[in-house]
Structure 1
Amino acid sequence: MMKNKDAKSDVAMEGESLPLSAPPPAESSDVAARMDRARAELTARAGDHGRLFATVGSIIRDSVDYIVDAPTLRRYSIKDLDPDEKTAIGKRIERMLRFQLKIPKGRGLDISLGGEDVDIKTTIGDTWMFSKSSHGYLHLLIAYSEEKATFSIGLAYVHDEHLRKGGNRDRKRSLKEAAKENISWLVENHPYPENFLARLPQGLLDTLALKASGMQRVLQLLRSVTGKPIPRHAICSVANQRDPMRRTRSNGGARDVLWAEGLLVLSGKYADDKTIVREALKIELAKTAFLTLRASDKRLNDDLLRLYQRSHSLPLLTSHSS
């Protein structure tokens, strides 16, 4: 297994070069060439390194949310999962990576990259487990942290001498600490979308749980979290109803109710709403996100308030609620 020890933790912004690992050292040219081929195909299937990292981050977020299943089970954190459910996250990441990047299945392992079988290993933390059948093969290693909302992805060549003695009940063994130093990282500690609901104060989560209807929960969420983008998944999770996005719209939805209370419900779906967020907060609102602002917010001028009112056919406010 090879690693460029100088690979940096952060990824450059658009237009700058990405801090990728250098080719593996030449002490094992055969493994180095195999890693190069696997890395090249993986990147090519995504389009470029930036798209690869964005795809992997999105897959991790979606996979965790899928297994946590907040809309149905009213739980919001990976900490609420059983061990087998955490394992299921890894299997879903593997399947979604193969599906979204159109990577063919291997003959005996998870995928085929660079003309050979490659196994995918995913972990929450930094401990991957390897069975004897995967010794001598390349592995695509993915590690992620829900607490930090970061992930790392790298390639490793694993053989018996790289693994600890002993193992778990399935006779799988983990990498020695020294062997971890030889992982050839594509990127380390790259951010991915955070678990929005898990980062809300517990008091607010408790309050949401006490609300009898999806509409009440959505209203409480939008009232309580102002000035910060709220992802669509969070709305769906607290609504727990058919057509949950209807709760945010006009015609009796949250937009009408909260406008009467002096709150704007802004959606990245609408150009005028995006303009309001851009001019008031100097940020871009994602197409699937929402954001609430109080009409009394000093960053909103009268022109922006009128734009919002006209855009959504709302009545004039008699006063700005504080």
Structure 2
Amino acid sequence: FDTLLHSEWDRAVTQGLFIFPIDYHTKRRILEDGDLQYIIEFNRDRKEKRRVPYPFEIVNAPFDKKKFNFNKIKDEEILFSLDNEQQTDKHLVIINNAPIRPCHLLLVPDRQLEQTQVLTSDCIVFGFEFVASSAHPYILAGFNSLCGYASINHLHLHGMYSPDRLFLQTIKCSPFHAKSNCYLSDLFYTQAFAFEVQHVDEFHRIAQYVYKITNYLTSNNIAHNMTIVKGDSFSSSENVLRIFVWFRQSVINGKNFDRCNFACFELAGYMTLHSEDVYNSLTESELCQHMNDIALSSEEQKRIKDDVKSLLDELV
């Protein structure tokens, strides 16, 4: 899997399919003033040269054929398909032509169906399979809803190799819903529901739990992000897949803040910065404050958590 991914990525680089040259020696540092070991990298090109994100005001907007979507990409941008031999185009792995870092990919399920950027159970399983297929310990996949920094309204996940361990791989979480084995990541004001997958045969069951939550968030116009990483079990010494679903304040019309913007990778422990000044001066304490600033009110969070408990009760 990893050999194929890298060889296909190198082919795309050789064919000049990217908007800007790929920097394999980008500046990187770990924020040392706290315990998270948060990773930041400097990438000016992505801010200046990427396609301007489309503005969104609601979490579930209709598909617009006139706007960019993944049916408009070149065939050469497809790296491979994560499918059995009978279905060679159902789960596509394609390049991000304005990548955060080398091997920043997009995972596109059933692109011909023109699904909006709303998670499906099948798409969640696709993310599980992508991460589980790799031998790399720091691979991750993630989803951004509209108003949660998705820039394209055509269903996709992001995939990437992190350059180092992410705090999300080991962070402790609190028990939340025992029957579904759901946990709560509550280190920050901005909280996340968390699940773990220990075996491949659990993929579809856990995906149903995750989907139940994301479908609720979408239906209630609540911006959200999902990240899938390899890491420690919440309750044992086993290695598992960890899945986090954040519920957060909406970002209307793709607004970018000067210092920190949080999508699925940034919430996991990795951030790319386009300002050298911010790159040089950012501290973990400042970053955590910005992360706390995107939290919903305590009243909204309580309502969401109560509703999610009821939804999970229906499934188990």
TM-score normalized by the length of structure 1? 0.24
Instruction: Give 1 or 2 for the bigger CA radius of gyration.
Output: 1
The structure where strand makes up a greater share of residues is 2
Q: Which has the higher contact order (CA 8 A, sep 6+)?
A: 2
Q: Taking structure 2 as the reference length, what is the TM-score of the superposition?
A: 0.25
